[in-house]
Amino acid sequence: MLEEKYLCISYFDEKIGPNILYCKPQKPDDIDFPDLTKLLEFNDTPGTFLFAFRRYQSINHIFYIKSKMARGGMEMLMISFLVRTSFFKHELGDVFNYLNEQSEILEKLAMKLTTLPSFIQVLHLHKKDPNEADLAQISNELKIDFLSLFNAFFEDLALDPEINIITKDAKITKKIYIIGQQHAGKSIFLKNIEASQFYRQKDFTLSTRILGVLLENVKIPSPRFNLEEPLDLSSIQGFIYLFRDATEENFNRLRKDLEVIMENAILQNKKTPLAILQNIMAGESSIDSNVFLNKITQTKEQATLIPLYFRSLNILKDDNGILNALKWLIFEIL
């Protein structure tokens, strides 16, 4: 059975490269378990950041320890706390809040390790993914209490009573759904979100960290929504609507779909932000945001419950445009 929470320490071994020092519980036999060495390989900036993997959410703290044994005089380490699922019972913002609240514990553990006598020697075993027996043996030889220290911090994290994880009933989770017109690039857009978040992991701004936590909650609905029928918004926190050519026919279809969403949001008194994106290819003309939004008629109540965002972009190339649209959507939700 897979555990729900993991605490891991990885570090950069001068012979092996990025390496896992210790994980509790032991790393599972799970193809979706994150490769933390890759994260450490692409990121060497000290600090705390959130990162979303396909089946795990994580908060990570990179730090350095002065060392005469290291070639550059510094050992690079990363402490990671991982949660196995993003199905949280409450609003999506709770995912970010919960993980962010654990940052102080990770930083305290880093401080303890920095001052732990002889700990540097543990980092020079030059053994790929040492197990608990290896660490217990070297700790006894060096007379350091590494495992007890680590386990105490793991208990602080694992026994936190505030988190409520849902692993079976996905119906009560909150989602951001990608909808829109045929052949607008919805699947490509979803893949680009994942790629953009990975390659921007060195950006420690608040909005990028929130994006990482919410990554798994951006979905293409299956089966796809029939916007000609009543729409239950209880499990939805926002929409991304994609369309291609700015023809009169496509615009009328968009306006009709928007009217359905607004009507349901009013009836259910549910705030539902909507980011509208025109996917343009090379050589195609874009639409000015103000010109587009001026074509959309909203009452004051509709504008409050259904805030709108519009941008023309190439979803294959405009990573900044994608990220800005998602930042807007996330801040409207939070």
The pLDDT tens digits for 161-189 are 444 443 333 333 468 899 999 888 888 88
Same-domain status, 95 and 143:
yes
Q: By three-state DSSP, how is residue 259 classified?
A: helix
Domain edge (last residue) among 158, 182, 206? 158
CA–CA separation, 210 and 326 (whole Å): 10
Same-domain status, 225 and 306:
yes
Kindly report the CATH number assigned to the domain that includes residue 277. Answer: 3.40.50.300
Same-domain status, 178 and 322:
yes
Same-domain status, 294 and 214:
yes
- Encode pLDDT of 238-262 as tens digits: 999 999 887 888 888 999 999 999 9
Same-domain status, 208 and 144:
no
- Encode pLDDT of 43-98 as tens digits: 889 999 988 777 788 899 999 999 998 888 999 999 999 987 644 544 455 667 77
Specify the pLDDT at position 322. Answer: 83
- For 313, how many CA atoms within 13 A lie in the half-sphere containing its CB? 22
Domain that includes residue 57, residue range = 5-158
Same-domain status, 232 and 147:
no
CA–CA separation, 20 and 321 (whole Å): 36
Q: Which residues pair with 310 in a beta bridge?
A: 276
**Is the bond into 34 cis (omega within 30 degrees of 0)?**
no
What one-character-per-residue DSSP string does 83-148 give?
A: ES---BSS-THHHHHHHHHTHHHHHHHHHHHHTSTTHHHHTTS--SS--HHHHHHHHHHHT--HHH
Pseudo-torsion of CA 176, 182, 185, 190, nearest 10°? 20
Specify the pLDDT at position 288. Answer: 81
The total domain count for the chain is: 2
Q: Is the pLDDT of residue 231 over 90?
A: no
Q: Residue 141 CB: number of other CB atoms within 10 A? A: 10
Among 96, 51, 55, smallest CA distance to 78 is for 51
Output the pTM of the full model.
0.54
Q: Judge whether 323 lies within some domain.
A: yes
Q: Judge whether 251 lies within some domain.
A: yes
Same-domain status, 72 and 132:
yes
SS3 content of the chain, % helix, strand, coil (to 5): 40, 20, 40
Lowest mean pLDDT among 191-195, 262-266, 293-297, 308-312: 191-195
Lowest mean pLDDT among 138-147, 206-215, 295-304: 206-215
Same-domain status, 129 and 186:
no
Same-domain status, 78 and 227:
no
Q: Judge whether 169 lies within some domain.
A: no
Mean pLDDT calculated for residue range 155-166: 57
